[in-house]
Amino acid sequence: MIEFYKQILENNKKWVENSLAKDPNYFADLAKGQTPPLLWIGCSDSRVPANEIIGAKPGEVFVHRNIANMVVHSDMNMLSVLDYAVNVLKVKHVIVCGHYGCGGVKAAMGNQSVGIIDNWLRHIKDEYRLHDKYLNSIQDEDARFNAFVEINAKEQVYNLAKTSIVQGAWKNGQDLMLHGWVYGLNSGFVTDLNVTISSNEELDQVYQLDL
């Protein structure tokens, strides 16, 4: 344990040295502020690093991560990140990126209790209930799992669009597009789920806020 801890401190020093060797002003420039064009909402899974997946540098992606890349309307952590990204940083794009093989989605498909996370997974179970006819029609278990990963990511894009934060930005004429992706752990490629929303007119009328 101690050796691992010492090693990551050493890795930091090497990273700083390498970064400064390439650009002596690297950290001085970063410290001046951030203007990322993108907010990434992804899973906490350690195998899904937002910056590396899209080849972005520090300062180019604002990131929020949680179990199964969820957008929960009562989650003040996520809403605070979203509000800052949209209203202060003025990001142009928000990407919800799920990933195949997601443990949170898999757990939500079963009935075994895994602890306090059961309460979080309930949100995902609600989505399964909404799409159960389609999902239960898929006989192959792996294919059904992958389909639910995709559905979950799509649903979170719609959940974003339903927030007063996003709808307020659209009302004010702000350019803001929401996208849904899924990342392949075994390939490295992302799949665009073709769910892109840029106005609340694409939502059911009951969700269109009169701001």
Q: What is the per-residue pLDDT across 115-164, written as a single tens digit (0 to 9) for each?
A: 999 999 999 999 999 999 999 999 999 999 999 999 999 999 999 999 99
Count other C-beta atoms under 10 Å from residue 36's C-beta: 19
**Which phi and psi angles does 197 have, rounded to 5°?**
-120, 130
**pTM of the predicted protein model:** 0.95
10-residue mean pLDDT series, the chain (211 residues): 96 97 95 96 97 95 98 97 98 98 97 95 96 97 98 98 97 97 98 96 92 89
For residue 18, the enclosing domain spans 1-32
pLDDT of residue 168: 97
75 and 105 co-located in one domain: yes
52 and 75 co-located in one domain: yes
3-state SS string over the chain? CHHHHHHHHHHHHHHHHHHHHHCCCHHHHHCCCCCCCEEEEEECCCCCCHHHHCCCCCCCEEEEEECCCCCCCCCHHHHHHHHHHHHHCCCCEEEEEEECCCHHHHHHCCCCCCCCHHHHHHHHHHHHHHCHHHHHCCCCHHHHHHHHHHHHHHHHHHHHHCCHHHHHHHHCCCCCEEEEEEECCCCCCEEEEEEEECCHHHCCHHHCCCC
141 and 200 co-located in one domain: yes
Q: Residue 135 is part of a domain; what is its CATH number?
A: 3.40.1050.10
17 and 70 co-located in one domain: no
pLDDT of residue 143: 98
115 and 61 co-located in one domain: yes
160 and 106 co-located in one domain: yes
101 and 201 co-located in one domain: yes
Catalytic residue positions, numbered: 43, 45, 47, 99, 102
pLDDT of residue 183: 98
123 and 140 co-located in one domain: yes
Known binding residues for Zn(2+):
43, 45, 99, 102
Domain count within the chain: 2
